[in-house]
């Protein structure tokens, strides 16, 4: 059976301009054309989605968000990118398909504050103004988990983490609470572990649509997360959030939140770094070179 893989992209971290704190003085435009700051949201847990009215991935994100049962403690609002025309914003706002407050980033202050290069972007802000999570291209099979984890963290409840266990979530969910480690991971070779597969079987270094029946199944256990395990990577499903070597590749499904989490990391590494695949592999040497940071 020929399996057509969807175009894969890793969720990309957005640079935070103000050392993790949100600037409520940023100016945006309301539906009726008034230029306002975001001061009225100060002291509230926030979920902000930044999007384009013409972006297909943005429409997918909005559809998920509109049906998601949000925690009552969180305030949600949307900001349309200033790259969209005023007419596009006005037309979208008139449809009233987005059931939350909606603004227009005409002056692109929000975009510049977070150095946003791609949409949709999802931002969670705690009551004290700390930016907990900021990502672009967060759309994927685990987007509802990202929303649940982010809302739980922003509201200071930690309820989502208490329910984790028994399945794979993907790196973006881990990043909600472990941004420092996640930022380090995104610069590591593990984050790009699927690229050799793409290059070998698709003839390029990036990700693209392709026929996954061309991929040697022997490669997938070490270049995807949880291959052939329940809730792990499955070529028969859209599981792009589980490509590469991620947190759960080493820490197991749900990591330390699951009582069955891995503690013997050397044995975990040796499942892929065998003497045949990686002659001379030394766990201690590689771990030191990898430089896994602590929070």
**Per-residue pLDDT tens over the stretch 35-74:** 999 999 999 999 999 999 999 999 999 999 999 988 899 9
pLDDT of residue 11: 38
Residue 234's pLDDT band (boundaries 50, 70, 90)? confident
Looking at domain 4-163, its CATH class is alpha beta
What percentage of the chain reaches a pLDDT higher than 90? 58
Residue 150 token pair: 């982010």
**Radius of gyration of the chain, Cα coordinates, nearest whole angstrom:** 20
Q: Which CATH superfamily groups domain 189-290?
A: Flavocytochrome C3; Chain A (1.10.1130.10)
According to DSSP, the β-strands at 4-5 and 35-37 are unpaired
Q: Which residue has the tokens 């070179």?
A: 289
Say whether pLDDT at 15 is over 60: no
Average pLDDT for 247-269: 82
Query: CB–CB of 192/244 below 8 Å?
Result: yes
Domain ranges of the chain: 4-163, 189-290
pLDDT of residue 137: 66
Say whether pLDDT at 94 is over 70: yes
Residue 118 token pair: 């791609």
110 Cβ contact list (under 8 Å, min separation 6): 26, 28, 50, 79, 116
pTM: 0.84
Rounded Cα gap, residues 135 and 242, in angstroms:
17
What is the number of other CB atoms lying within 10 angstroms of the CB of residue 237?
A: 10
Say whether pLDDT at 12 is over 50: no
Say whether pLDDT at 271 is over 90: yes
Rounded Cα gap, residues 80 and 90, in angstroms:
10
Query: Could you give the residue ranges of the DSSP H alpha helices within the chain?
Result: 56-67, 86-95, 109-114, 143-154, 159-163, 171-175, 179-185, 195-202, 220-223, 247-251, 265-270, 283-290
Q: 103 forms bridges with which residues in the sheet?
A: 79
Q: Which residue has the tokens 């699927």?
A: 194
């Amino acid at each position: 059976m020929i399996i057509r893989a969807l175009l894969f992209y890793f969720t990309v971290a957005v640079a935070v301009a103000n050392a993790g704190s949100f600037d409520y003085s940023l100016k945006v435009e309301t539906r009726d054309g008034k230029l306002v700051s975001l001061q009225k949201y100060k002291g509230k847990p926030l979920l902000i989605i930044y999007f384009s009215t013409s972006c297909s991935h943005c429409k997918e994100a909005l559809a998920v968000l509109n049906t998601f049962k949000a925690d009552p403690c969180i305030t949600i609002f949307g900001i349309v990118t200033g790259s969209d025309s005023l007419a596009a914003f006005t037309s979208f706002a008139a449809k009233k398909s987005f059931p939350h407050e909606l603004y227009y980033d005409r002056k692109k202050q929000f975009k510049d504050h977070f150095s946003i290069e791609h949409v949709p972007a999802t931002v969670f802000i705690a009551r004290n103004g700390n930016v907990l999570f900021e990502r672009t291209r967060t759309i994927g099979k685990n987007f509802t988990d990202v929303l649940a984890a982010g809302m739980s963290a922003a509201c200071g409840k930690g309820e989502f983490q208490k329910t984790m266990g028994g399945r794979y979530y993907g790196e973006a969910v881990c990043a909600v609470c472990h941004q420092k480690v996640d930022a380090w991971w995104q610069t590591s070779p593990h984050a790009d572990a699927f690229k050799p597969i793409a290059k070998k079987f698709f003839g390029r270094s990036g990700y693209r649509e392709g026929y996954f029946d061309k991929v040697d199944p022997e490669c997938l256990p070490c270049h995807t997360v949880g291959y052939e395990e329940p809730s792990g990577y499955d070529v028969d499903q859209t599981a792009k959030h589980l490509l590469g070597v991620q947190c759960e590749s080493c820490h197991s499904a749900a990591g330390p939140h699951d009582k069955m989490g891995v503690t013997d990391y050397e044995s975990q590494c040796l499942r892929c770094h065998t003497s045949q695949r990686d002659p001379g592999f030394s766990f201690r040497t590689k771990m030191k070179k990898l430089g896994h940071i602590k929070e």
